[in-house]
Chain A
Amino acid sequence: MATVALGLAGAAAAAWLGAAGLVLAGGRRPAVSLQAGLIGLGGLAALGAGLVGVVAGSSESLALGNQLVGPVAYRVTALGATFLTLLGLVALTAAVWGARAHARSLASSAYLAALALTALFTLATLCAATVTAFLVAWESMTLAATFVVWRHHDRREAAWGGFLFVALGEAGFVCLTAALLLLATQAHSLDFQVIAARSATIGSGWRGAAFVLALIGFGFKAGLVPLHLSIPEADPAPPADGSAVLSAVTAQMGVYGIALVGFRLLSHGPAWWGLLTMSLGATSAVLGVLYALMERDWKRFLAYSTIENVGIAVTALGAAMTFLSLGQPGLGALLLIAGLYHVLNHGTAKALLFLTAGTVERATGLRDLDRLGGLARRMPRTAVIALIGTLALAALPPLNGFVGEWLIFQGLFQGFRLSSHLAAVLIVAAGAVLALAGGLAINAFARAYGIPFLGMARSGAAGRASERGQPVLAGAILAGVCCALALGAPLVLIGLAAVVRRTVGIVILPRLLVPGLTLIPAHPGFSSLSPTYLALALVGLLGVPLLILRLARPRAATRTVPVWAGGILRFRPRMQYTATTLANPVGVTFEDLYRPHRDLERASDDPAGRSGPVHYGFRLLPVYQRFLYQPLVAAVERAARGLGWIQSGDVNWYLLLVFLTILVAYVAAGR
């Protein structure tokens, strides 16, 4: 079994490498479909590798290093396999979507090659077993993903998003390299297993420094506020399959990194590591959803929602670290399971929604929520799929998102079992913040589903939308997976419990899962849930009104009359609520945070009411930009202006600087 996972991972890598290499075959009619097919096959293999890895645990190690580059080894670990499953699923569905969606052009072919390379290097990162292998794979992943962002490099927002992605990615990489090299030098080994085994012997100062650096480094990728700037700019920029990979996989690689360092390399850290991680996660969750709520661009909305959901997963991981550190291994393991569950749920549903948004964009050419509407009638299959994804991501029962978040809440509300009052209060407070985020998320997703799919079309393009020929299958697969993750929650938990047992060595499954498909997360007297029966019951309840209608309907004659509408003769699309109006109550409530800038222009101030066209503009300057990035950029610019005299432009001056440097070197060497 153990070698099967590694073999499947190798097969996935080969397929993706082949898909990337096909761009070189190029020519006038590039093999775009073949590329997409290979990406999909690779995804299938990676999915298999992940599932085998989750069940069977660590595979054998594939060692490749030499004297020059040091030890390079790859191994499928249980923790990596969890993310590998997600990578495989998303790559598979992205390929299914992309095979229908992309034109046969060299640009599409190059884009698919970049996408295949992103998947390949993500796989390499997940399987890396030494510091060298990990850092090289991580950096390559960032670079390949940057080219995915640059698919439409002639568009301003894509260029800017790609720049932010690569710039912040490099900033994170610097922190990450420092952290891992610090660990490697202190443990005298580049091998992850050796570092993990010797981590207890490293001085606590070094451990703390390495952990904080790693948290920052991975935080850039995960999009933890305030390190998240690239997510809302870069993730929506490429076509939907690229967005799905970036948001559902690449961003969540940050979560993988935090789990890798926090639970494998540096297990048994002090409580403040967990509390710090948890606070960052909770802040990201609530700020992410708050900014998502104000977003009119559908894909940018989804990207902000990624920040929220990654924040939720990181909160769970941080709380798990705290519980483990303060002597509550059962709760720690529970929260780790819940966090990983949430990663899977979010990845599935986010990929689904990005692909759906991409399908709608293909059908209408629109991403602006305020110009869509009424799509449920014109694109019924897409609407059903999107509804499933929306329910899953808004964490509403009976879908998978609910199960994951419910477990997280159950874990967080056990904070009172801790002996440390500070940690207890902080953990419960994090739970409260997540509850706020959850409530806002329901609001946000009601808006993001209702505005485009319900009501009347708000523009001609939305009114002419058609589902014919659009790529719907990929979303349907993901919707099926969402349902499976909910109905099969006990199975998922068995798998994740195995992962947690192999990662932190805590056996929790017998306590967590009792016969009858029921979960008891913390304490039998506290709470229990059977997601399977809940889902069946809720779906079954839908039948009740139908039954009543059928059995108890009075046999009266049917009469068709217009709806009474307050004297309005005809409904017009502009009478509907818009995305902006729907979000406005929240905007007003959190005005101190948003500090919005509103522009209101009327053509005339005629008191009789007919004012002509009204322009209403609404802009936000996010709080972290106001207080963190703007001062930072201003400081760098001031420093650059202060040093400007060095760059006078005179070649003699430059030569003098070179000359003086040589002189200084001579004098320093001669002393």
Chain B
Amino acid sequence: MPAGVATLAPTTPAGVVLDLAAVLILVSAFACLGSKLFARYVTYYGIQSLVLAVAVATVAVRTGDRGLWVLAGLTLVIKAIAIPSAIRRFLLDRLRLQRDGGLAAGLGVSLILGAVLTALAYLVIGRDLLPPGVGTVPAIPVATAVILLGGLVMVVRRHAVAQLIGWLIIENGVVLGAVTLAANFPFIVEAGIFLDVVASVLIMCGVVLGLGDDAAGGAALRRLSG
């Protein structure tokens, strides 16, 4: 059994906090999926990132890994504060985005699909998918469900900014799974993923601003054939 995982069993206080955090992250993903306002997307994403920072800090407390502390701090500063405020200032305010009109599926259908995907995540994450000894960590199916929900957001939303949020949710799910599965994850990998996220936000800001609201709203995104 890996050292980090042993200390995160669901019966310990840290395990309970981690499970709770995981559930909150899942709920915020659902909240994004069930919302129609751009401002709410960003708010829910900020909350999700904040909870994720708490989860990472919890694992850091239990394992005493300095790299994880840095990761928790980075998550707090960049994902919970910097990225939401950047999206608000550079995209929502400049393009005057309020209501998201570009839905490929209704909110009800999206939520039902999300529930189905969550159930599927619990079904498919069996013991044999996980490293030996971690089969009892409940956060893993939750992390998988968050990844799938982020993907669903990208599929059912037509607006580029909403798709960006979906992408960021996927990334949060990946980090959640990574810190619970392998607490002694090399920091350099985490730092690389962080760079990717920051770069993708920057690129999306540039692209969306360049496209303008009309095109980013889906008109240009439906003509991507060769």
A669 near B: Cβ within 8 Å?
yes
A650 near B: Cβ within 8 Å?
yes
CA distance A666 to B104 in the complex (A): 24
A589 near B: Cβ within 8 Å?
no
CA distance A667 to B120 in the complex (A): 8
Complex interface residues of chain A between 613 and 671 (CB less than 8 A to chain B): 647-652, 654-656, 658-659, 662-663, 666-667, 669-671
A-B contact count (CB 8 A): 57
Asked if B154 and A659 sit within 8 Å, CB to CB, the answer is yes
Asked if B155 and A649 sit within 8 Å, CB to CB, the answer is no
Name the residue of chain A whose CB is nearest to the CB of B157: A652
Given the complex, which residues of B lie within 8 Å of A647, measured CB to CB? Answer: 225-226
Asked if B129 and A669 sit within 8 Å, CB to CB, the answer is yes
Given the complex, which residues of B lie within 8 Å of A652, measured CB to CB? Answer: 104, 154-158, 218, 221-222
CA distance A341 to B221 in the complex (A): 63
Shortest CB-to-CB span from B148 to chain A, Å, is 7
| Size of A's binding interface in residues, CB under 8 A | 18
Asked if B222 and A649 sit within 8 Å, CB to CB, the answer is yes
Asked if A667 and B155 sit within 8 Å, CB to CB, the answer is no
CA distance A658 to B224 in the complex (A): 15
Given the complex, which residues of A lie within 8 Å of B226, measured CB to CB? Answer: 647
Complex interface residues of chain B between 137 and 172 (CB less than 8 A to chain A): 144, 148, 151-152, 154-158, 163
Given the complex, which residues of A lie within 8 Å of B157, measured CB to CB? Answer: 652
CA distance A650 to B157 in the complex (A): 12
Asked if B126 and A649 sit within 8 Å, CB to CB, the answer is no
A663-B120, A670-B126, A670-B129 are known contacts. Are A649 and B223 too (CB-CB below 8 A)?
Answer: yes
Complex interface residues of chain B between 164 and 207 (CB less than 8 A to chain A): none
Shortest CB-to-CB span from B107 to chain A, Å, is 16
Asked if A649 and B225 sit within 8 Å, CB to CB, the answer is yes
CA distance A613 to B218 in the complex (A): 60
Asked if B224 and A654 sit within 8 Å, CB to CB, the answer is yes
Interface string of B110-151 (1 = CB under 8 A from A): 000000010011011110010000000000000010001001
Asked if A649 and B120 sit within 8 Å, CB to CB, the answer is no
Shortest CB-to-CB span from B152 to chain A, Å, is 7
Given the complex, which residues of A lie within 8 Å of B222, measured CB to CB? Answer: 648-652
CA distance A14 to B125 in the complex (A): 58
Asked if A666 and B144 sit within 8 Å, CB to CB, the answer is yes
Could you say which of A651, A662, A671 contacts B224, with CB atoms under 8 Å apart? A651
Chain B binding surface, main DSSP class: helix
Given the complex, which residues of B lie within 8 Å of A666, measured CB to CB? Answer: 120-121, 124, 144, 148
CA distance A647 to B224 in the complex (A): 8
Asked if B225 and A659 sit within 8 Å, CB to CB, the answer is no
CA distance A671 to B218 in the complex (A): 37
A659-B152, A670-B126 are known contacts. Are A651 and B221 too (CB-CB below 8 A)?
Answer: yes
Given the complex, which residues of A lie within 8 Å of B104, measured CB to CB? Answer: 652
Given the complex, which residues of A lie within 8 Å of B124, measured CB to CB? Answer: 666-667, 669-671
A652-B104, A655-B163 are known contacts. Are A663 and B221 too (CB-CB below 8 A)?
Answer: no
Asked if B155 and A656 sit within 8 Å, CB to CB, the answer is yes
Interface string of B98-116 (1 = CB under 8 A from A): 0000001000000000000
Name the residue of chain A whose CB is nearest to the CB of B150: A659
Shortest CB-to-CB span from B4 to chain A, Å, is 23
Asked if B225 and A648 sit within 8 Å, CB to CB, the answer is yes
Asked if B151 and A662 sit within 8 Å, CB to CB, the answer is yes
CA distance A281 to B171 in the complex (A): 60
Asked if B156 and A659 sit within 8 Å, CB to CB, the answer is no
Asked if B155 and A655 sit within 8 Å, CB to CB, the answer is yes
A647-B225, A648-B225 are known contacts. Are A655 and B125 too (CB-CB below 8 A)?
Answer: no
CA distance A658 to B157 in the complex (A): 15
Name the residue of chain A whose CB is nearest to the CB of B105: A652
Name the residue of chain A whose CB is nearest to the CB of B153: A655
CA distance A670 to B123 in the complex (A): 8
CA distance A663 to B144 in the complex (A): 11
CA distance A652 to B105 in the complex (A): 11
Shortest CB-to-CB span from A177 to chain B, Å, is 28
CA distance A252 to B32 in the complex (A): 66
Given the complex, which residues of B lie within 8 Å of A658, measured CB to CB? Answer: 151
Name the residue of chain B whose CB is nearest to the CB of A670: B124
CA distance A433 to B26 in the complex (A): 78
Given the complex, which residues of B lie within 8 Å of A669, measured CB to CB? Answer: 124, 129
Given the complex, which residues of B lie within 8 Å of A655, measured CB to CB? Answer: 151, 154-155, 163
Shortest CB-to-CB span from A507 to chain B, Å, is 62
Asked if B151 and A649 sit within 8 Å, CB to CB, the answer is no
Asked if A663 and B148 sit within 8 Å, CB to CB, the answer is yes
Given the complex, which residues of B lie within 8 Å of A656, measured CB to CB? Answer: 155
Asked if B224 and A670 sit within 8 Å, CB to CB, the answer is no
Shortest CB-to-CB span from A649 to chain B, Å, is 4
CA distance A666 to B221 in the complex (A): 28
Shortest CB-to-CB span from A208 to chain B, Å, is 41
Shortest CB-to-CB span from B206 to chain A, Å, is 17
Given the complex, which residues of A lie within 8 Å of B155, measured CB to CB? Answer: 652, 655-656, 659
Asked if B125 and A670 sit within 8 Å, CB to CB, the answer is yes
Shortest CB-to-CB span from B100 to chain A, Å, is 13
Shortest CB-to-CB span from A389 to chain B, Å, is 48
Asked if A650 and B151 sit within 8 Å, CB to CB, the answer is no
CA distance A662 to B163 in the complex (A): 17
Interface string of B50-91 (1 = CB under 8 A from A): 000000000000000000000000000000000000000000
Given the complex, which residues of B lie within 8 Å of A667, measured CB to CB? Answer: 120, 124
7 A-B pairs closest in CB distance: A670-B124, A649-B225, A651-B221, A650-B222, A659-B151, A656-B155, A647-B225
Chain A to chain B contacts (Cβ below 8 Å), 28 pairs: A647-B226, A648-B222, A648-B225, A649-B224, A649-B225, A650-B222, A651-B158, A651-B163, A652-B155, A652-B156, A652-B157, A652-B221, A652-B222, A655-B154, A655-B155, A656-B155, A659-B151, A659-B154, A659-B155, A663-B120, A666-B144, A666-B148, A667-B120, A667-B124, A670-B123, A670-B125, A670-B126, A670-B129
Residues of A that sit less than 8 Å from B by CB: 647-652, 654-656, 658-659, 662-663, 666-667, 669-671
Residues of B that sit less than 8 Å from A by CB: 104, 117, 120-121, 123-126, 129, 144, 148, 151-152, 154-158, 163, 218, 221-226
Additional 17 contacts, C-beta under 8 A, given A655-B155, A670-B126: A650-B224, A651-B163, A651-B218, A651-B224, A652-B154, A652-B155, A652-B156, A652-B221, A655-B163, A659-B154, A662-B148, A663-B117, A666-B148, A667-B120, A669-B124, A670-B124, A671-B124
